[in-house]
Amino acid sequence: MLRRGGLLPHQIGGGVMNRGPVIFFSAFLAFAISFFAFVLLPQTQIGRQPLATVDGVANAYPAARPGEAHQGAEIYRANGCVTCHSQQIRQTGNVFDVVLTDAGTNLTAVLTAMNNHLNPAVEFALTDVTNALPKTILKAVPTKAAAEALSKKFTEAGAKTDLRVMPVGPDIARGWGLRRSVAADYLYDTPPLLGSQRVGPDLANVGMRLPDANWHLVHLYQPRAVVKDSAMPPYRYLFTTRKIGATPSADALVFPAGFGPEAGYEVIPTDAARALVAYLQSLRVDASLFEAPMTAPAK
């Protein structure tokens, strides 16, 4: 037995920790706090989130994925596409475009406003006021207040303007999405395949970007047939290759010149491959939400 007197004070600290129950309860307290903050609160805040209201229509967003796309999500999960692809757009902020939609009746007042408040290097003419409406008169105003102040000058002159909310950030500049992803976008996704890696491009909006089913099928069968030096693994096991029968199958993949199976053979997607592509085509985040506003580009 060591005598207490033989030890320095810092060597006998934490004496109360020498009992099992104390260790148990201090660990449990830490666990409970962490559980409360990171499991319970998010569940009450976003777990019960209703579907969003879009354009005045309640419960409009997100739309449930149609059956085949839903099965495709399972193929996506089973094959671990999520290890290389994220489905989540980030955004650094918003900029605002001011759009002149209607010049009103007092054209000269609008022209004066244009010359006073727009690019001072340009001398606007009356035709600039009336031609090609609606037109963006100011691009990428960094704050909403500044954009509103400017559009006020025009409304005072009797014109009508629109304020467009344009999300910005590297992901958006790459064309991967229109706005940042928010919790509401994943309400139908179990599991939500957010991913943590971008070995390949983000796929949150791949359905919007690449709508062609044949492109996807060929890409899955042989990525390098459509993307030079692609680092994506091929998924030939989702396809069957067979000898062309009396009539070639309508489902057979159409390859670019120089790729595809040897002559006399055709590549047919399995149901899994078709479902996977239906899922990819269903990936689109294009609704403006209260927490992530944006103005969709004119169709």
Partner from other proteins, ligand HEC, none binding residue 206, C-beta < 5-8 Å depending on class: ligand HEC
Shortest spacing between CB 136 and other proteins, in angstroms:
21
Contact (CB, 8 A) for 268 and 214: no
Contact (CB, 8 A) for 197 and 84: yes
Three-class secondary structure of residue 60 per DSSP = strand
Residue type (1 letter), 174? R
Residue 85 binds ligand HEC (CB under 6 A)? yes
SS (H, E, C) 33-83: HHHHHHHHHHHHHHHCCCCEEECCEEEEECCCCCHHHHHHHHHHHHCCHHH
Partner from ligand HEC, other proteins, none binding residue 125, C-beta < 5-8 Å depending on class: none
Segment 45 to 64, residues that bind ligand HEC, using CB under 6 A: none
User: Beta partners for 155?
Assistant: none
Partner from ligand HEC, other proteins, none binding residue 280, C-beta < 5-8 Å depending on class: ligand HEC
Which one of residues 96, 186, 235, 255 is an interface residue with ligand HEC (CB under 6 A)? 235
* Tokens coding 63: 């739309």
Partner from ligand HEC, other proteins, none binding residue 276, C-beta < 5-8 Å depending on class: ligand HEC
Nearest residue (CB) to other proteins, 173 versus 250: 173
Partner from ligand HEC, other proteins, none binding residue 299, C-beta < 5-8 Å depending on class: none
* Tokens coding 221: 């069968």
Nearest residue (CB) to ligand HEC, 196 versus 247: 196
What is the crossing angle of helices 67-78 and 271-282, to 10°?
100
Shortest spacing between CB 219 and other proteins, in angstroms:
12
User: Beta partners for 141?
Assistant: 96
Segment 165 to 204, residues that bind ligand HEC, using CB under 6 A: 199-201, 203
Binding piece for ligand HEC, criterion CB under 6 A, among 21-29, 160-168, 228-236, 252-260: 228-236
Q: CA 73 to CA 277: how far, in whole Å?
A: 9
**Sign of the CA dihedral running 289, 286, 132, 56:** negative
Q: CA 4 to CA 117: how far, in whole Å?
A: 82
Q: CA 50 to CA 53: how far, in whole Å?
A: 9
Segment 263 to 292, residues that bind ligand HEC, using CB under 6 A: 276, 280
Which one of residues 76, 221, 239, 255 is an interface residue with ligand HEC (CB under 6 A)? 76
Nearest residue (CB) to other proteins, 39 versus 125: 39
What is the crossing angle of helices 107-117 and 144-156, to 10°?
150
Partner from other proteins, ligand HEC, none binding residue 166, C-beta < 5-8 Å depending on class: none
Residue 233 binds ligand HEC (CB under 6 A)? yes
